[in-house]
Structure 1
Amino acid sequence: MGPGPVNAHPRVLRAMSADMLGQFDPEMTGYMEQVMALYRPVFGTENRWTMLIDGTARAGIEAALVSLVSPGDTMLVVDFGRFGLLLKEIGERVGARVEMLSAPWGETVPMEAIAQAMARTGPKLVACVHGDTSTTMAQPLDGLGALCRDAGALSYVDATATIGGMEIAADRWGVDVVTGGLQKCLGGPSGSAPITISDRAAEHIFARRHTEHGIARADLAQGSGIRIGSNYFDLAMVMDYWSEKRLNHHTEATTMLYGARECARIALGEGLEARFARHAAAGRAVVAGARAMGLTVFGDDRYRMTNVTGILIPAGVDGEAVRRRMREDFEIEIGTSFGPLQGKVWRIGAMGYNAMKHKVLITLGALEAVLRAEGHATPPGAGVDAALEAWG
């Protein structure tokens, strides 16, 4: 019950036990087409270029940034936690001139501040995390795409921590590229990164290279052609493989594709609205339970992620001892955090296969027992009772 990865859905694990297929087998390429269709509603888009990057969620982030940003480009990062700092690091490795627009941890960045920062910096790309699990905050994104288009900038959103649990509305937000991961709200293992790319972004990506005699190569001339720093994460080449051309790029991670396909089938079978409501109920229950136990919930209630809750470690309580007891006595894992919050908060995740009433109640009951064993008094049964009422 930490901030992810979490327990995978049994159906996903079963799907991943299927036998291998060759990457050009018609059955395999048929599954690829299914994956593209299944993930469009999950991303809230009709983008043709909706597919998978083989690798953990960070592989999707890196593929997006190395394919959208060229050395010397200005990249504006909307930063409100640990994973905004990751976008900064990757941008700097690409050679971008990175500008940061930062909010204190526990807050988000107002859209007006983003507009002002864009006017000041003139970015080629605006990059943002949707939900940052380090702070448990979710950045509002309505209007971001329009701001970027008006300024002639591309937009990128990392939705690793929210896809499948909170609404992802790529088309309504008007953003160009969104990436995710399986290991949180989608209820799968880490190792595959769903991605969606707008036609506008695809045009930019393909324009960075020329094709000679049917073989893709980087254009080494000055000007429009830019050599991509990575072969594996060159989206133009990956998109060629996922297109009707089926141009070989790398050996497809067959087992992960099976898993990603099943994650999306489960999400759509449940219904996205029902799924979002389930995650919201789980988040409400954790927050209500923690407060009924006399604990302080971290961050701004208006912008809280539904699937991860930060709880301030009470004074005099050894946070790591509590985590160890939770794990050893109850076989429940909860998280700590990074940077300025390291050792100051616990993070309880209720997402994917674990966003269930009984799992939330068991976790809160276990936390109460462990806190009392560590000498911190909590009202007996109050957390579970409040969570039951809040679930609705």
Structure 2
Amino acid sequence: MSHIAPIDPPARLLMGPGPISAYPSVLRAMSSPLVGQYDPFMTAAMSETQDLYRRVWSTRNEQTFLVDGTSRAGIEAAITSLVRPGERVLVPVFGRFGHLLAEIAERAMAEVHRIEVEWGQVVPASKIEEAIVRVKPTLLALVQGDTSTTMNQPLDDIGEICRRHGVLFYSDATASLGGNAFEADAWGLDAATAGLQKCLGGPSGSSPITLSERATEVIRSRGRVEAGIREAGDTSAADFVRSNYFDLGMIMDYWGPRRLNHHTEATSMLYAARECASVLLTEGREKVIARHATAGAAMLAGVRGLGLTVFGDVAHKMNNVVAVEIPDGVAGDPARQAMLDDFGIEIGTSFGPLHGRVWRIGTMGYNARRDAVLTTLAALEQVLRRFGASVPTGGGVDAAIDTFREAAA
């Protein structure tokens, strides 16, 4: 039998829109020994992780836990569990991931209504309320931070609008949680989901979720209806949840005090999620958000210091990612590949109307720090010059250093 070499990934500085370089302590946590899913250590770790994520989400919601799978698993679990076939879902779209929420709602057999704004903008609260009045949805599904455009949708007024009109409010905070303000209770969220691979500084594969009492009752009431459907033997009825794996009613029972078996918890991902929350809360939630804001402001100043044009409404940009226009005459994909090949630094391209037009550069999680920002800007300057762009010598690094100094003053 031929020798199979152990896996040996190359050294990378992941400065794209995600995934990112994980905190070293998260990687160490993932290498911890496995235990059985009902071992007292395991169940205690699950309960502790729930409590930690209540603090991360800024909520008192009892139903705060993890969905095993990437952030998309959390999105699908939330939407398919909250929406019955034929119910109306309103999705404001300001980038690629709004379209994803709409697609998942359509697959859940909802009647989906979209409102759209130009990429690089956010959706005004007044426009959302007008659409709610017109559409009368059961659920509003809204991305907070959309990495395809780097925009951060304001949520603080939306919960009150939804309550006034009797609408459930769900937000996908995959790209924003941990690096931007998120106040689940204060903003009136009924459901929110995220992933570890952005500002939380972990690997993709676990999706934190929190559900309000109102959302929990919607899910429980649907479960009671389904129990009747099963008893009657008519599993073709419209109210029946199509997914077993993403049925939040069953997952809540698994994470709850009864520990009803639903799946085998992904132990190593539980360790990772717990450590991601621990890092954030040990440093201090507000301090971590401020660190992301400072690193993001330094990267923004740095790319401008190189003479690059920033895409979108910067006033509504996420702290943790910036999109820059690729300079005329520079081959975007080969230049991005040179960053990877020559410097071991990954930055991102984009999707749809922005593909080939912008690069997306992230400063999140473990990489929301001074040396990562400065190293990326120094490498970008060299690559831009090699690909024919005229850029100020040291302009990016100098501007970023000034920003870090101002923040520390």
For normalisation by structure 2, the TM-score amounts to 0.93
Alignment of 1:130-209 (within 5 A): 130-209=144-223
Shift of residue 220, structure 1, vs aligned partner: 6.9
The amino acid of 1:63's aligned partner reads A
CA distance in 2, matches of 1:258, 1:218: 38
Which residue of structure 2 lines up, in the alignment, with residue 38 of structure 1? 52
Shift of residue 212, structure 1, vs aligned partner: 10
Alignment of 1:287-366 (within 5 A): 287-366=300-379
- Is this contact kept in 2: 1:220–1:227, CA < 8 A? no
- Is this contact kept in 1: 2:50–2:65, CA < 8 A? yes
- Is this contact kept in 1: 2:68–2:265, CA < 8 A? yes
Is structure 2 residue 271 aligned with structure 1 residue 285? no
CA distance in 2, matches of 1:261, 1:371: 40
CA distance in 1, matches of 2:87, 2:241: 14
Shift of residue 210, structure 1, vs aligned partner: 2.3
The amino acid of 2:286's aligned partner reads E
For 1:129-169, what per-residue CA distance to the aligned partner results, in whole angstroms no more than 9, with x for missing partners? 00000000000001211111211111110000011111111
Of the structure 1 ranges 140-149 and 183-192, higher mean CA displacement relative to structure 2 is found in 140-149
Is structure 2 residue 28 aligned with structure 1 residue 14? yes
For 1:49-97, what per-residue CA distance to the aligned partner results, in whole angstroms no more than 9, with x for missing partners? 0000000000000000000111101000011000000001101111111
Shift of residue 270, structure 1, vs aligned partner: 0.5
For 1:246-294, what per-residue CA distance to the aligned partner results, in whole angstroms no more than 9, with x for missing partners? 1000011011000000000000000011101100011101111111111
For 1:294-315, what per-residue CA distance to the aligned partner results, in whole angstroms no more than 9, with x for missing partners? 1000110110000010000011
Q: Secondary structure at the match of 2:90?
A: strand
Which residue of structure 2 lines up, in the alignment, with residue 237 of structure 1? 250
Q: Secondary structure at the match of 1:210?
A: helix
Q: Secondary structure at the match of 1:268?
A: helix
CA distance in 1, matches of 2:192, 2:224: 25
Shift of residue 211, structure 1, vs aligned partner: 8.6
Q: 1:116 aligns with which of 121, 130, 136?
A: 130
CA distance in 1, matches of 2:238, 2:249: 13
- Is this contact kept in 2: 1:216–1:237, CA < 8 A? no
Which residue of structure 2 lines up, in the alignment, with residue 265 of structure 1? 278
- Is this contact kept in 2: 1:108–1:138, CA < 8 A? yes
Detail structure 1 runs of 4+ shifted over 2 Å in the superposition: 210-213, 215-222
Consecutive unaligned residues of structure 1, counting only runs of 5 or more, are none
Q: Secondary structure at the match of 1:169?
A: coil
- Is this contact kept in 1: 2:59–2:183, CA < 8 A? yes
Quickly say closer, same or farther: Cα 1:212–1:196, change in 2 above 3 A: closer
Quickly say closer, same or farther: Cα 1:75–1:216, change in 2 above 3 A: same
The amino acid of 1:42's aligned partner reads V
CA distance in 2, matches of 1:90, 1:212: 21
- Is this contact kept in 2: 1:74–1:121, CA < 8 A? yes
CA distance in 2, matches of 1:266, 1:310: 27
- Is this contact kept in 2: 1:12–1:262, CA < 8 A? yes
- Is this contact kept in 2: 1:178–1:195, CA < 8 A? yes
CA distance in 2, matches of 1:203, 1:307: 35
- Is this contact kept in 1: 2:226–2:239, CA < 8 A? no
Q: Sequence identity, in percent?
A: 57
- Is this contact kept in 2: 1:192–1:256, CA < 8 A? yes
CA distance in 1, matches of 2:323, 2:189: 28
CA distance in 2, matches of 1:108, 1:190: 26
CA distance in 2, matches of 1:294, 1:269: 38
For 1:30-54, what per-residue CA distance to the aligned partner results, in whole angstroms no more than 9, with x for missing partners? 0011001000111111101000000
Quickly say closer, same or farther: Cα 1:333–1:212, change in 2 above 3 A: closer
Consecutive unaligned residues of structure 2, counting only runs of 5 or more, are 1-14
Is structure 2 residue 269 aligned with structure 1 residue 256? yes
Is structure 2 residue 364 aligned with structure 1 residue 384? no
Quickly say closer, same or farther: Cα 1:46–1:225, change in 2 above 3 A: farther
Q: What RMSD over aligned residues (CA atoms) do the two structures have, in Å?
A: 1.8
Shift of residue 219, structure 1, vs aligned partner: 7.6
- Is this contact kept in 1: 2:225–2:239, CA < 8 A? no
For 1:341-373, what per-residue CA distance to the aligned partner results, in whole angstroms no more than 9, with x for missing partners? 000000000000000101100100100000001
Which residue of structure 2 lines up, in the alignment, with residue 226 of structure 1? 239
The amino acid of 2:18's aligned partner reads G
Quickly say closer, same or farther: Cα 1:368–1:65, change in 2 above 3 A: same
Is structure 2 residue 66 aligned with structure 1 residue 56? no
The amino acid of 2:300's aligned partner reads V
Q: How many equivalent pairs are there?
A: 390
The amino acid of 1:294's aligned partner reads G
